[in-house]
């Protein structure tokens, strides 16, 4: 099983400060959203953050669980945020409510009870005003009548504003900390040249960016409090920006190659024969839906660990298709093999792809460190959506995993192309079919890895909440019946690599975070068990990774796609992280 977290080495030891985040659904865990208690746990040191948020709670409901959910935890600090549910007037009910769920006087009494009880126990309290609300079609349908003002952009806050003002008053009179969320969100929206709507997932609950605003305000308040009260809380190393929307782990280093083009599609990386030079391969300057002949496969090399990348080299062009989304393998003899799509058309009619849907798989190779390349060779004729690496077996076979469409009903099956003569000729392994119906259903975009016992392991993307797997004992020609793994996964491909010390690295999108986060885990027993995982990259959409060990042992080079605006303008990015900089909480 894959666990919860890796952490940076050097983290301070000793008893952490317990912080309870006490609130409603704007505090509680919420699917793939990184809520502010998670941000505090990750970005502060010497803290234990307990999320005591319960969806739907008013302060009256919360008072009933205050003893068990807060006081019983013996916290040093308690963060309190309520108000949206208290102030709600349920005009959608039959008969319609005429007043709030909790009156303003009762709300004030409940908050003062929480604060005064904590102060009597010498526990620090931090009050937060509720975040602002914005109209959506659904909310307007439910609440778009008096006392609300549906014609005004701020009209959903008419009952909430007095409750927020009461929080400010209590904080001042009780002399406790205050984080004032509405003005912080307004300021962030102005920085983004947008509106508060962009910080909310559904007009009510903060999205990732909204929780980032709240988390940043709380971090500043808690660090100030720690300094004044001599608490051992310190700031953890900050995540680093990489591009417009992605951020990478503090232990990682951004080595993204510079490119003047909007599209850089393909995250493949390779260590060349000299064991020093690294190569990145990709397609550019635009994506799939361009005029034939206007996109090419490119490569760039770096000799200094990614500080500088050499001038772009054209690897392959085609006059009649769009060569796209390449991956790369350096075989034991030093030959560089590049595999890529020859995209022509995607279309779907009824239950099947159309007969002219076409995205073949091609290959080209270089035996002189990338100075020259062979004439491109087609190794599969049909429709494949992406290449996802390749491996060389102990007996020298090249194995290229991919998926392709089959009909009635249309779906994807996984298989491999195999070459026993260094890429001159190719055979196809048996297809792996797990059923399904639809353009992104079935067995998709597999990754493969030779195991220590001689078998090949295939890890298959699905839409079924976990990866599926299969094994081959004959070099990829035949495979066991695919079965589900226990690895929680979004519907996105994984990348696998064998480290020099024998362990296996896995990079993938977990289901809980969808494509908003890429995770890394390590296995010492060929994928049977995995270390707890660490988030490496976060963004609006960060996915389709590629991982390889670089010139130094434990030096992971990771490529991935940053796709904030869709696959017409994906941007491959590169980073490095040394596993020695990460402390494994559990090592098999």
Helix or strand (DSSP H, E) at 84 = helix 84-87
Is residue 91 packed enough to be buried (19+ CB in 10 Å), middle (13-18) or exposed (0-12)? middle
In a domain, 412, yes or no: yes
Q: What is the reported pLDDT for 243?
A: 87
- Beta-carbon neighbour count of residue 486 at 10 Å? 10
Residues 297 and 361 both lie in one domain: yes
**How far, in Å, CA of 446 to CA of 432, rounded?**
10
Domain holding 153: CATH number?
Answer: 3.40.50.1110
The whole-angstrom distance between residue 450's C-alpha and the CA centroid of its chain comes to 27
In a domain, 167, yes or no: yes
Domain count, the chain: 2
Residues 248 and 179 both lie in one domain: no
Q: Are 432 and 406 in contact (CB under 8 A)?
A: no
Residues 393 and 519 both lie in one domain: yes
Q: What is the reported pLDDT for 192?
A: 86
In a domain, 201, yes or no: yes
**How far, in Å, CA of 289 to CA of 282, rounded?**
16
Q: Specify the pTM.
A: 0.83
Q: What is the reported pLDDT for 7?
A: 40
Q: Are 102 and 159 in contact (CB under 8 A)?
A: no
* 334: Cα within 13 Å, side-chain hemisphere: 9
Q: What is the reported pLDDT for 582?
A: 64
Q: Are 155 and 103 in contact (CB under 8 A)?
A: no
Q: What is the 3-state secondary structure of 256-324? A: CCCCCCCCEEEEEEEECCCCCCEEEEEEECCCCCCCCCCCEEEEEEECCCCCCCCCCEEEEECCCCEEE
Let me know the angle formed at the C-alpha of 116 by 114 and 118, rounded to the nearest 5 degrees: 70
b/e per residue, 520-532, with b = 16+ CB within 10 A?
bbbbbebbebbbb
**Going residue by residue through the chain (588 aa), what tens digit of pLDDT does each one get?**
343 334 443 344 568 999 999 999 999 999 878 899 999 998 999 999 999 999 999 999 999 999 999 999 999 999 999 999 999 999 999 999 999 999 999 999 999 999 999 999 999 999 999 999 999 999 999 999 999 999 999 999 999 999 999 999 999 999 999 999 999 999 999 998 899 999 999 999 999 899 999 999 999 999 999 999 999 999 988 899 998 789 999 999 999 999 999 899 999 999 999 999 999 999 999 998 889 999 999 999 999 999 999 999 999 999 999 999 999 999 999 999 999 999 999 999 999 999 999 999 999 999 999 999 999 999 999 999 899 999 999 999 999 999 999 999 999 999 999 999 999 999 999 999 999 999 999 999 999 999 999 999 999 999 999 999 999 999 999 999 999 999 999 999 999 999 999 999 999 999 988 899 999 999 999 999 999 899 999 998 999 999 999 999 999 999 999 998 899 999 999 999 998 876 432 332
In a domain, 95, yes or no: yes
Q: Are 532 and 4 in contact (CB under 8 A)?
A: yes
- Beta-carbon neighbour count of residue 199 at 10 Å? 26
Q: Are 80 and 272 in contact (CB under 8 A)?
A: no
Residues 156 and 285 both lie in one domain: no
Helix or strand (DSSP H, E) at 196 = none
- Determine the structural domain holding residue 569 and report its residue range: 242-583
- Of the three residues 213, 238, 263, the one that is the final residue of a domain is 238
Domain holding 469: CATH number?
Answer: 2.120.10.10
Residues 277 and 290 both lie in one domain: yes
- Of the three residues 223, 238, 253, the one that is the final residue of a domain is 238
Residues 343 and 204 both lie in one domain: no
Q: What is the reported pLDDT for 5?
A: 39
Tell which residue, 302, 283, 269, has the closest CA to residue 570.
283
Residues 233 and 293 both lie in one domain: no
Residues 402 and 285 both lie in one domain: yes
- Beta bridge pairs of residue 405: 412
pLDDT digits (tens, 9 = 90+) for 215-228: 999 999 999 999 99
Residues 307 and 354 both lie in one domain: yes
In a domain, 2, yes or no: no
In a domain, 1, yes or no: no
Residues 71 and 180 both lie in one domain: yes
- Of the three residues 209, 238, 267, the one that is the final residue of a domain is 238
Residues 161 and 263 both lie in one domain: no
Residues 221 and 369 both lie in one domain: no
């Amino acid at each position: 099983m894959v666990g919860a977290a890796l952490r940076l080495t050097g983290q301070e030891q000793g008893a952490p400060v317990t912080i309870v985040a006490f609130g409603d659904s704007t505090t509680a865990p919420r699917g793939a959203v990184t809520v502010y208690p998670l941000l505090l746990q990750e970005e502060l040191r010497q803290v234990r953050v307990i999320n005591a948020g319960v969806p739907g709670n008013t302060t009256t409901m919360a008072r009933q669980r205050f003893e068990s959910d807060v006081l019983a935890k013996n916290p040093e600090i308690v963060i309190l945020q309520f108000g949206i549910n208290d102030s709600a007037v349920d005009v959608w009910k039959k008969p319609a409510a005429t007043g709030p769920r909790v009156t303003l006087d009762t709300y004030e009494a409940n908050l003062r009870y929480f604060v005064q009880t904590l102060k009597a126990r010498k526990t620090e309290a931090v009050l937060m005003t509720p975040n602002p609300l914005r109209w959506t079609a659904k909310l307007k349908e439910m609440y778009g009548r008096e006392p609300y003002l549906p014609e005004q952009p701020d009209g959903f806050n008419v009952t909430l504003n007095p409750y927020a003002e009461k929080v400010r008053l209590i904080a001042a009179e009780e002399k406790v900390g205050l984080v004032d969320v509405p003005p912080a969100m307004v300021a962030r929206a102005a920085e983004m040249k947008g509106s508060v709507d962009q910080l909310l997932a559904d007009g009510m609950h903060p999205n990732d960016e909204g929780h980032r605003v709240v988390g940043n305000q709380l971090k500043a308040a808690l660090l100030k409090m720690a300094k004044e009260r001599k608490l051992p809380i310190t700031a953890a190393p900050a995540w680093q920006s990489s591009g417009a929307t992605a951020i990478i782990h503090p232990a990682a280093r951004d080595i993204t190659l510079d490119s003047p083009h909007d599209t850089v599609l393909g995250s493949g990386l390779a260590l060349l024969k000299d064991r020093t030079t690294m190569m990145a391969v990709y397609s550019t300057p635009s994506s799939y839906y361009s005029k034939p002949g206007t996109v090419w496969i490119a490569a760039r090399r770096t000799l200094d660990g990614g500080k500088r990348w050499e001038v772009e080299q054209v690897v392959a062009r085609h006059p009649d298709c769009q060569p796209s989304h390449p991956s790369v393998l350096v075989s034991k003899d030093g030959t560089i093999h590049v595999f890529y799509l020859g995209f022509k058309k995607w279309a779907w009619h009824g239950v099947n792809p159309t007969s002219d849907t076409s995205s073949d798989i091609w290959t080209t190779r270089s035996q002189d460190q990338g100075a020259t390349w062979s004439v491109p060779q087609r190794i599969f004729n049909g429709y494949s959506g992406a290449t996802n690496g390749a491996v060389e077996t102990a007996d020298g076979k090249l194995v290229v995993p991919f998926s392709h469409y089959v009909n009635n009903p249309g779906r994807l099956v996984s298989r491999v192309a195999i070459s026993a003569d260094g890429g001159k000729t190719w055979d196809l392994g048996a297809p792996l079919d797990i059923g399904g119906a639809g353009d992104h259903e079935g067995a998709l975009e597999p990754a493969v890895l030779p195991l220590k016992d001689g078998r090949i392991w295939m890890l298959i993307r699905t839409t079924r909440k976990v990866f599926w797997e299969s094994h081959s004992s004959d070099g990829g020609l035949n495979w066991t019946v695919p079965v589900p793994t226990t690895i929680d996964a979004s519907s996105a491909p994984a990348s696998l690599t064998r480290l020099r010390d024998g362990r296996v690295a896995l990079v993938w999108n977990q289901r809980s975070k969808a494509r908003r986060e890429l995770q890394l885990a390590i296995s010492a027993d060929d994928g049977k068990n995995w270390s707890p995982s660490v988030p490496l990259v976060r963004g609006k959409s960060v996915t389709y990774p590629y991982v390889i060990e670089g010139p130094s042992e434990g030096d992971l080079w990771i490529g991935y796609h940053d796709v904030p605006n869709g696959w017409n303008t994906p941007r491959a990015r590169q980073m490095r992280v040394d596993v020695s900089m990460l402390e494994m909480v559990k090592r098999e």
